[in-house]
Structure 1
Amino acid sequence: MSAILVTIADAAHPPVRALVEELDAYLVPLYPAESNHLLDIETLRQPEMRFFAAFREDEALAIGGCWLHEDYAEVKRVYVRPAARGLGLAKQIMRRIETEAMACGRLIARLETGIHQPESLALYRRLGYADRGPFGDYPTDDPNSVFMEKMLG
């Protein structure tokens, strides 16, 4: 079996785009439109974004990125293809996101996830993320959102 490489990725690269679209297809039915805070491909390609993918040869298995705000990094679009779950890829992607955030001078990582994603919530808590209130432009009264934060470094 080939090694898995986590690397910077272009969200528009077809195998990476396919994972973004898989994630959309998973999330859209779980939440009402106003609770889905999905960044599109073009936003994921902006200079303030750092986007990563885990590849085995040419196959993208997992994705995730961080949006560099002025004083924190926001974790966005973490997803592992179902067939690749159990390989520790979400942890690898998160480690890469956190390393990049610190390299860019951000010592706080924040994220928003949903109440219907227990696996994601459990992962983030295992990685040291703690619940916090809404941040940025998120609505303050969305019952479907969970906000979390971790001090890096």
Structure 2
Amino acid sequence: MSEIEIRPMRYGSAVVQRLVEAIYADQTVRYGGPDQTRIESFEFDPPDGGFLVAYLDGTPVGCVGWRSHGDDETTAEVKRLFAAPEARNTGVATTLMRAIEQNAKDHGRTRMILETGHAQPEAMALYEKLGYVPIPHFGHYKDTEGVRSYGRPL
């Protein structure tokens, strides 16, 4: 098994944007279109956010980011967790989640929240395995059928 390397990156970088396009393609298959949540690249800049890319054998195969949740300087919202099909079941998503949690914690966050959808059972299983529990819905999809919201203290 190859070692997973995690690198911080800017959300606007070409590498991240290629991964985001892959996320959108996956979401289009699952939901009929990509995530419509408004995102600005600066939201992932430290100290109010962070973005990480996972590499296997020098190839970018996954990503995840966090951004501050509203005016709450203690809560980080996870966005854009993705593992490429060839990297699934290799520990990439778990490694990314642990790394982004630590990154948020290093920037003073004490709680992580996230949302996903009903058509992503593997994501829900991962979050639950990592100790995330259902929380009240929030954000762009809070009133959308099929949304699943999770949180956990860091």
Q: Secondary structure at the match of 2:86?
A: helix
Runs in 1 of length 4+ with deviation above 6 angstroms?
A: none
The CA distance in 2 between the partners of 1:20 and 1:7, in whole Å, is: 16
Mapped contact 1:75–1:111 kept (Cα < 8 A): yes
> Residues 37 and 151 of structure 1: is their aligned pair in 2 closer, same or farther, counting only changes over 3 Å?
farther
Do structure 1's residue 134 and structure 2's residue 137 form an aligned pair?
A: yes
When the two structures are superposed, what TM-score results if normalisation uses the length of structure 1? 0.85
Tell me by how many angstroms 1:61 deviates. 0.9
Tell me by how many angstroms 1:12 deviates. 3.0
Aligned-partner residue type, residue 51 of structure 1: F
Alignment of 1:113-152 (within 5 A): 113-135=116-138, 137-152=139-154
Q: Which runs of 5+ in 2 are unaligned?
A: none
Deviations 1:23-82 (A, max 9, x none): 01111343366x934455735654533000011354101100111232300011000000
Q: Secondary structure at the match of 1:30?
A: helix
Q: Secondary structure at the match of 1:28?
A: helix
The CA distance in 1 between the partners of 2:2 and 2:32, in whole Å, is: 39
Identity across the alignment (%): 31
Mapped contact 2:112–2:153 kept (Cα < 8 A): yes
Alignment of 1:90-105 (within 5 A): 90-105=93-108
Aligned-partner residue type, residue 18 of structure 2: A
Do structure 1's residue 23 and structure 2's residue 27 form an aligned pair?
A: no
The CA distance in 2 between the partners of 1:151 and 1:4, in whole Å, is: 25
Deviations 1:82-139 (A, max 9, x none): 001111010110001110111111111000100100000000000000011113x335
> Residues 141 and 41 of structure 1: is their aligned pair in 2 closer, same or farther, counting only changes over 3 Å?
closer
Mapped contact 1:15–1:59 kept (Cα < 8 A): no
The CA distance in 1 between the partners of 2:31 and 2:128, in whole Å, is: 22
Mapped contact 1:17–1:41 kept (Cα < 8 A): no
Of 78, 83, 86, which aligns to 1:80?
83
RMSD value, Cα: 2.3
